[in-house]
Structure formats: C-alpha cells, structure tokens
Amino acid sequence: MDDGSTNDVDGIDREILQILLQDPRMPYSEIASRLEAAGYQMSAEGVRHRVVKLFDESEIFLLTSPQARNWEVLRLNVVVKDEPGATEATFEQLGTQNFWLVCRGFGSVDIHGVATVANVAEADALVTAVRALDEVTSVSYFLETDRITNIHDYMGG
C-alpha cells in the first residue's frame, strides 16, 4: 500500500474491511478469529497494523447500513448556473455545511454531496439551505434506506 493505488489492497485487507463494515468497533482479536475462519492466519497485532495502514494510506470511509444505525444518509446532486465561478463558489459553500463528502466533476450534475443526518427534518433543512444558495439552479436528492456493500469488489478487488 505504499503508493495508495488500489493494487496494493489485497484479499486480507478486503476481508478486514468487510468485517469492519459489519461492526466498525470489533476488537482486533475478534477480527483475527474471523480472518482465521476465512483462511488467513493473522495475530490481533497484525490486524491492528493493517487497519492503521489502511486508514493512514487511503481515503476509506466506512459506513454501515443506515437501517443498522439511528441516522439517515442524504445524497444530493446539485446543478449550478452556467456562469463563471458558480461551480467553485457553490462547491466551497457546500464544504462548509454538514456534508462529509462534497465532490465536483463532469457529467449531468455539477456537484455531489453526502451527509449523515439525524432525521428527515434535518435532511429537509439541509436540502432547503442548498436550494437557497444563489448559484444553485436545481437540487435532486434521496435518503438512503438500504445498501449492499461488497468490499471484495471495492478498489478493484
């Protein structure tokens, strides 16, 4: 995992990530036991080393399914005015709000944001705040109600 490329994440790393998706607070000793059941021999200290390395050298953000926790995941797609600086200004403004991911690129939307909110009312308030931004022309969104996550396919598995 020296250069941060996806080729440096191996089967053991993917198995560890899959286990952490089920329970992000699982003790390293329990992860080691589950790895052994999957055919990998590793001590708890070895697991700790790999987990630290995964988080230090990558930009992995693990979230369990929203139905397993008492919060909602809000996903937002924003289109801005076709004016110089509109995308940059809106991107910066969203970065100061309650989004844990804000990205921009090329496609049918200008900006994509993801936030974790406590309830539907908080999601509505955040959507309303984004719609009120001067440069925004449209906002589409959804609240995630379920998810399938396959870490073995994540990062080129």
The pLDDT profile of the chain, 157 residues, written as one tens digit per residue, is: 344 444 467 889 888 888 887 777 889 999 999 999 999 999 999 999 998 888 766 555 455 555 555 678 899 999 999 999 999 999 999 999 988 889 998 899 999 998 888 889 999 999 999 999 999 999 999 998 777 766 666 555 5
CA distances from 155 to 21, 63, 73, 102, 144 (A): 15, 16, 22, 20, 22
Terminal CA-CA length for the chain: 14
pTM: 0.60
Q: Name all domains of the chain by residue range, CATH numbers in brackets.
A: 6-57 (1.10.10), 66-144 (3.30.70.920)
Helix (H, G, I), strand (E, B) or coil at 116: strand
